[in-house]
């Protein structure tokens, strides 16, 4: 390792001087319909984008990441330095929680599966040497502007130390083998496999080790939700992804004249999908699909051949995943509600409407 890889820390706030342009305003590139997401690796063109306050142009030559806070050896590192450190690649599903301003009661399918390359965050934290009392790593993005009626001078998120030190969390500079584009958060972003996209700070400029949760509207006001634990409602951060799935074959409206239909799709969750059940009779009976074992943090393909009713007409196929903890997708009313696809059952020889 070259001795100039780790540079002295920058003066307070100086890491923010590399912004050379901004496109203000909320930006959403919607995902294609589930039936169009048939490749195991989602291309950059097919992958959704979510940007709250506007994207930024970063001067990558002058860019530096500052690592400071409750550490014995604060430092900064530039892009060449980061690229000199041993790199790691990990394939992971990538899912947006949805807008924090509206109720999360519908499945939006803002999801894909991509390969990230970069340096494990743990390597940078080991070099910095954590002080006692370190509980969270705050991550800052270079974007600023307005969202949800508030003005902010940065995007800021946090990770608990346990996740920050896990082998999968990366300070990433490539997606699918290519440098991160401007909209993806280039030159460098945080990647937190298994957790919602909101935690993956783009245009990363600072990692600060702290002894409490971050003081940003993106952690205090937005991206928290209620869940029930032993009869009590607990408000907690939008971190780990719950089980979810989508049917990619058949597509809605497909006409099927065979006696059975081949169903395929993707299922994912933070701790992996253990089974996926399919129904063609409105959730009265279920048939288990074959589910590919999880590799890294990838989404998992499921496949099954389902018999179809003898009579012609519309048939709804419902898919429902269960994860390694036994948590199961609800049938409706939540952001991870079960997907259903309606096809048209024809009898051989009959005509399409």
Residues of this chain that interact with ligand MTE (CB under 6 A) are: 47-52, 94, 96, 141, 143, 155, 184-185, 197-198, 200-203
Rounded to an integer, what distance in angstroms lies between the CA atom of residue 192 and that of residue 27? 21
Binding piece for Mo ion, criterion CB under 5 A, among 91-99, 200-208, 264-272, 342-350: 91-99
Nearer to ligand MTE, 155 or 173 (CB): 155
Nearer to Mo ion, 223 or 266 (CB): 223
Nearer to ligand MTE, 200 or 263 (CB): 200
| 22 backbone dihedrals φ, ψ, rounded to 5° | -140, 145
Q: Which of 69, 100, 197, 217 binds Mo ion (CB under 5 A)?
A: 197
3-state secondary structure (DSSP) of residue 294:
coil
CB 69 within 8 A of CB 206: no
Nearer to ligand MTE, 43 or 342 (CB): 43
202 binds, among ligand MTE, Mo ion, none (CB under 5 to 8 A by kind): ligand MTE
345 binds, among Mo ion, ligand MTE, none (CB under 5 to 8 A by kind): none
**Alpha carbon of residue 179 to chain centroid:** 18
- Binding flag, residue 96, Mo ion (CB under 5 A): yes
Rounded to an integer, what distance in angstroms lies between the CA atom of residue 336 and that of residue 319? 11
Nearest CA among 70, 72, 59 for reference residue 187: 59
Rounded to an integer, what distance in angstroms lies between the CA atom of residue 47 and that of residue 223? 21
What six digits make up the tokens of 211? 């002894």
Q: Which of 66, 113, 198, 275 binds Mo ion (CB under 5 A)?
A: 198
Nearer to Mo ion, 194 or 197 (CB): 197
Nearest CA among 196, 346, 176 for reference residue 259: 346
Nearest approach in angstroms of CB 155 to Mo ion is 11
184 binds, among ligand MTE, Mo ion, none (CB under 5 to 8 A by kind): ligand MTE
CB 246 within 8 A of CB 336: no
The DSSP call for residue 311 is S
Nearer to Mo ion, 203 or 302 (CB): 203
Q: Which of 34, 48, 50, 195 binds Mo ion (CB under 5 A)?
A: 50
Nearest approach in angstroms of CB 46 to Mo ion is 17
Rounded to an integer, what distance in angstroms lies between the CA atom of residue 153 and that of residue 215? 13
Nearest approach in angstroms of CB 155 to ligand MTE is 3
Nearest CA among 16, 12, 2, 117 for reference residue 59: 16
Nearest approach in angstroms of CB 98 to ligand MTE is 9
3-state secondary structure (DSSP) of residue 75:
strand
Nearest approach in angstroms of CB 75 to ligand MTE is 22
Nearer to ligand MTE, 78 or 143 (CB): 143
Number of CB atoms found within 10 A of residue 209's CB: 23
Determine the residue with CB nearest Mo ion.
Answer: 96
Binding site residues, Mo ion, CB under 5 A: 50, 96, 197-198
């Amino acid at each position: 390792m070259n001795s100039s890889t780790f540079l002295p820390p920058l003066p307070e706030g100086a890491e923010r001087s590399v912004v050379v342009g901004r496109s203000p305003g909320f930006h959403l590139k919607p995902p294609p319909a589930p039936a169009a997401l048939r490749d195991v690796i989602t291309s950059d063109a097919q992958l959704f984008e979510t940007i709250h306050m506007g994207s930024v142009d970063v001067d990558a030559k002058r860019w530096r990441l500052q690592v400071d806070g409750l550490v014995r050896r604060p430092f900064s590192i530039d892009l060449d330095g980061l690229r000199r450190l041993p790199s790691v690649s990990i394939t992971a599903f990538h899912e947006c929680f949805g807008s924090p301003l509206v109720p999360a009661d519908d499945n939006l399918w803002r999801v894909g599966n991509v390969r990230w390359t970069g340096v494990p965050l743990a390597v940078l934290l080991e070099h910095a040497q954590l002080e006692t009392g370190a509980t969270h790593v705050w991550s800052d993005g270079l974007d600023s502007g307005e969202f949800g009626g508030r003005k902010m001078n940065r995007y800021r998120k946090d990770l608990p130390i346990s996740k920050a030190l896990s082998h999968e969390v990366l300070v990433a500079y490539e997606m699918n083998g290519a440098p991160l584009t401007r909209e993806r958060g280039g030159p460098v972003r945080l990647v937190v496999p298994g957790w919602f996209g909101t935690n993956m700070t783009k245009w990363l400029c600072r990692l600060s080790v702290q002894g409490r949760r971050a003081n940003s509207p993106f952690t205090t006001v937005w991206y928290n939700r209620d869940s029930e634990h032993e009869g009590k409602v607990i408000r907690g951060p939008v971190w780990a992804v719950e089980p979810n799935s989508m049917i990619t074959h058949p597509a809605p409206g497909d006409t099927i004249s065979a006696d059975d239909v081949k169903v395929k799709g993707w299922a994912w969750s933070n701790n992996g999908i253990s089974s996926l059940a399919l129904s063609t009779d409105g959730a009265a009976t279920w048939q288990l699909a074959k589910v590919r074992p999880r590799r890294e943090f990838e989404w998992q393909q499921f496949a099954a051949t389902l018999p179809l009713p003898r009579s012609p007409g519309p048939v709804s196929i419902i898919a429902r995943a269960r994860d390694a903890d036994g948590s199961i997708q609800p049938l409706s009313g939540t952001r991870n509600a079960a997907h259903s696809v309606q096809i048209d059952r024809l009898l051989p020889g009959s005509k399409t409407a």
